[in-house]
């Protein structure tokens, strides 16, 4: 199995879960790891909110579980280097969160609320600030008892005409970023249109001399699409987003394909339903049952996608309020 070393932290394999708000719950990240994901960062968390409101308010998103996750990574977003410094200081003072292995910086979020503040994908248009943020994170982690690498996840551009931002890639690499992941879409594309692999390759090429790993991201749905993304971009690995929703088995499948092993059997209908319940119960460990069930409404449909009667099932699942009701609906 190929392994990748990110600033001294070695991950097994080269197929990671891409961070997704509402999806990348700690319960799900542990499941993905079990099913072969190399690692799985948290969803994006505001560095400014941590700075001014403390960790508790964001704990639902920040929580890590080194035991089930293996290598852990927290993704932060923001636009002010000082916010990152303050957020990391707080993280490093926390008994659980200080065990984190990697800090990832979001430089790709296209959501207007985030972009308006100069954060997320807006940083692609401001490589100087992007680099300052990386430097601030590195400096804040300098005193840590272990080396904690800083990684960056971004896109191929901010404007519709952009086809790669090698300037941004070089700026963050110069600033000491330990790994770069690039999603092959521009900000206005959000998650639509095709993924521009040439633009990803251009950014990979831009940091060739820096000796840091590079991950490609966008539209991986199976082994062949992962292999061709790696082949066409020269990436060291891939991150899988949407196709992994309600489908942790994708990591076994893609890893097997990349390593030339036979494809594992796809999960049965029952296994999928049982995994849905397992993730939901995992989510319930951290909050009120009804809250967990409501939050899980955006994910449940993916677990039953393609199952006979899925349309009806989805409607019923999304009106349930307890785990038992959901079990009944799924006839488990």
Ligand X SMILES: Cc1cc2nc3c(=O)[nH]c(=O)nc-3n(C[C@H](O)[C@H](O)[C@H](O)COP(=O)(O)O)c2cc1C
Q: Catalytic site residues?
A: 109
Q: Any contact of residue 69 with ligand X (CB under 6 A)?
A: no
* The one among 22, 66, 193, 234 contacting ligand X by CB under 6 A: 22
Q: Give the footprint of ligand X on residues 198-227 (CB under 6 A).
A: 217-220
- 241 near ligand X, judged by CB under 6 A: yes
Residue number, 21 or 325, with CB nearest to ligand X: 21
**20 lies in the site for ligand X, by CB under 6 A:** yes
> In the numeric block, which tokens belong to residue 298?
């955006």
Longest Cα–Cα distance of the chain, Å, equals: 57
Cβ–Cβ under 8 Å, residues 153 and 105 = yes
Measured between alpha carbons, how far is 224 from 43 in angstroms, rounded to an integer? 26
Q: Does 247 bind ligand X (CB under 6 A)?
A: no
Least Cβ distance, residue 277 to ligand X (angstroms) = 22
Query: Is the Cβ–Cβ distance between 253 and 223 less than 8 Å?
Result: yes
Residue 94: count of CB within 10 angstroms of its CB: 14
Instruction: Report, in Å, the least distance between residue 21 CB and ligand X.
Output: 4
Q: Which residues partner with 238 through β-bridges? A: 15, 216
The smaller minimum CB distance to ligand X, of residues 109 and 280, is found at 109
Q: Which of 44, 62, 168, 304 binds ligand X (CB under 6 A)?
A: 44
User: Binding residues for ligand X, how many (CB under 6 A)?
Assistant: 23
Among 12, 57, 94, 242, binds ligand X (CB under 6 A): 242
CA distances from 277 to 250, 293, 295, 303, 322 (A): 18, 10, 14, 10, 11
- Calpha distance 32→18 (Å, rounded): 11
How close are the terminal C-alpha atoms of the chain, in Å? 36
Site string for ligand X, 153-172 (x = CB under 6 A): x-------------------
Contact status, residue 109 vs residue 137, Cβ threshold 8 Å: no
CA-atom Rg of the chain in angstroms:
19
C-beta of 145: minimal distance to ligand X in Å? 27
| Calpha distance 255→12 (Å, rounded) | 10
Q: What DSSP element (H or E) covers 186?
A: strand 179-186
β-bridge partners, 16: 239
Under DSSP, the state recorded for 110 is -
Output the smallest distance, CB 281 to ligand X, in A.
22
Q: CB–CB of 156/186 below 8 Å? A: yes
Q: Which stretch binds ligand X (CB under 6 A): 1-9, 226-234, 237-245, 287-295?
A: 237-245
| Residue with nearest beta carbon to ligand X | 241
Site string for ligand X, 82-111 (x = CB under 6 A): ------------------------x-xx--
Give the residue with the Cβ less far from ligand X, 222 or 274: 222
- Which phi and psi (to 5°) does residue 130 adopt? -55, -45
Q: Does 282 bind ligand X (CB under 6 A)?
A: no
Stretch that binds ligand X, among 21-29, 204-212, 312-320, 321-329 (CB under 6 A): 21-29
**Min separation Cβ 191 and ligand X, Å:** 5
DSSP state of 18: P
Only one of the segments 19-27, 122-130, 265-273, 305-313 lies at the binding site for ligand X (rule: CB under 6 A); that segment is 19-27
Give residues in contact with ligand X (CB under 6 A).
18-23, 43-44, 75, 106, 108-109, 153, 183, 191, 217-220, 240-243
């Amino acid at each position: 199995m190929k392994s990748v070393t990110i600033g001294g932290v070695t991950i097994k394999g080269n197929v990671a879960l891409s961070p997704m708000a509402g999806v990348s719950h700690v319960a799900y990240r542990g499941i993905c790891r079990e099913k072969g994901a190399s690692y799985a960062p948290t969803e994006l968390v505001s560095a400014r909110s941590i700075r001014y409101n403390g960790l508790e308010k964001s704990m639902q998103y920040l929580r890590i579980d080194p035991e089930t996750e293996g290598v852990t990574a927290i993704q932060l977003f923001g636009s002010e280097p000082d916010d990152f410094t303050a957020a990391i200081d707080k993280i490093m003072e926390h008994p659980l969160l200080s065990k984190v292995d990697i800090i990832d910086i979001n430089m790709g979020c296209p959501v207007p609320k985030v972009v308006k503040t100069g954060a997320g994908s807006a940083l692609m248009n401001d490589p100087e600030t992007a680099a300052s943020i990386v430097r601030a994170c590195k400096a804040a982690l300098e005193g840590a008892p272990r080396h904690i690498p800083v990684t960056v996840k971004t896109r191929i551009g901010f404007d519709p005409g952009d086809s790669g931002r090698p300037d941004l890639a070089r700026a963050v690499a110069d600033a000491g970023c330990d790994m770069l992941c690039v999603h092959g879409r521009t900000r206005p594309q959000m998650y639509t249109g095709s993924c521009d692999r040439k633009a990803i390759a251009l950014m990979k090429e831009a940091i060739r001399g820096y000796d840091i790993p590079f991950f490609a991201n966008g539209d991986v749905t199976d082994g062949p699409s992962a292999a061709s993304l790696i082949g066409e971009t020269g990436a060291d690995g891939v991150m899988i987003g949407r196709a992994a929703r309600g489908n942790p088995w994708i990591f076994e499948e893609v890893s097997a394909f990349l390593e030339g092993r036979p494809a594992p059997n796809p999960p049965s209908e029952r296994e999928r339903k049982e995994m849905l319940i397992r993730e939901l119960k995992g989510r319930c460990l951290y909050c009120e049952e009804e809250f967990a069930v409501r939050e899980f409404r955006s994910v449940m449909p993916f677990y039953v996608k393609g199952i006979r009667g899925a349309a009806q099932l989805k409607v019923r699942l999304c009106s349930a309020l307890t785990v038992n009701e959901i079990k009944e609906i799924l006839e488990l």
